[in-house]
Amino acid sequence: MSQASLSLKSLNSFAINAKAQEIVTLTDLAQLEQFTKTLPKQFYILGGGSNSLFINDYQGTIICPDFKGIKLTETSDSYLLDVASGEDWHELVQYCLNNNIAGLENLALIPGNCGAAPIQNIGAYGIEFADVCDYVKWFDFTTGKVQVLSKQDCQFAYRNSIFKGALKNKGLVIAIGIKLNKKWQPLLNYAGLNELGNTPTPKQVFEQVVAIRQAKLPDPKQLPNAGSFFKNPVVNAALFENIKQQYPQLISYPLANGDIKLAAGWLIQECGLKGKTIGGAAVHKLQALVLVNVDNASGEDVIALAKFVQRSVFKKFGVNLEPEVRLIANCGEVLLENL
């Protein structure tokens, strides 16, 4: 269950060669209950490692939940899935399609484990995890008990949830509940998907999403990265109009509250940063939203590049980019502006 002083290189998709004092892998509830009786003072919960950047060696314990299992039931109008947190998200999407269950295809090829889905409220092509969430099974470190949190309890927002706020480091996700309507309707509002016509099959949507993502996003196994490094920024209508007047090609998505979501990748690209390198880190040549490890980058290389990108976009557009990737220093998670 526990190993000491191991490299984290194989456990994070950036392939940063940082170390931790201890790595603990948990595969069942009994192990989790026993482990939390003497919970380390400093720890970080690491799932698939696809959304974490280790800036330097971590002076604490890395906890890797590796619970497995998918349970499928159904009602007259819905499919209900109970999915252990250690299951791979993309494999879950494929499992659904193989069982003629639609509703997750827009979320295909998102890297990482299912336990991270509610924490980050993952999303793509018009769908977020919150849209399909039924519940989250949460192990509370203080009580040593499993709680079932409703969608409302999770306080989902854009790439955010209660698990990054009030419940941060208070426990861990052991399973997620997903509810998918049997009366499936495709969501095709995004570029690329709207080319499919009005009646595509779920498999056709899935294949199109995979093709789009593979064309734009590098495979972490070939070129280490953590996918989209920055969140798409949300601005008010006044700032949007000001930018739009100067840059008519600005890519944007109106929100229900009147704010506007901008495409962070487009902003970075317009700053001329595709291919920009600092140390062993680079802005990807095809998708500017992705920072990549091209030459044994250190975590500090990636941070230096991220800060350069952030400053460049703010100087040109007056828009502040916030990382989507979680930044882990030796003492724990930190904010980019504090580095």
What residues are labeled active site? 159, 228, 324
Quote the DSSP letter at residue 196. G
Instruction: Give whole-number Cα distances, 116 to 41, 88, 175, 223, 236, in Å.
Output: 22, 10, 10, 22, 29
User: Does residue 139 contact residue 146 with C-beta atoms inside 8 Å?
Assistant: yes
- Reference 295, options 18, 12, 15, 13; nearest CA is 15
Q: How far apart are CA 120 and CA 56, in angstroms?
A: 23
Q: Report strand pairing: 20-26 vs 58-65.
A: parallel
Residues 6+ apart with CB under 8 A from 76: none
CB-CB contact of 239 with 258 (8 Å): no
Residue owning tokens 């595709």 = 274
Residue 172 bridge partners (DSSP)? 139
DSSP code of residue 191: T
Distance from C-alpha of 280 to C-alpha of 273, rounded to nearest angstrom: 15
Distance CA 212, CA 25 (A): 34
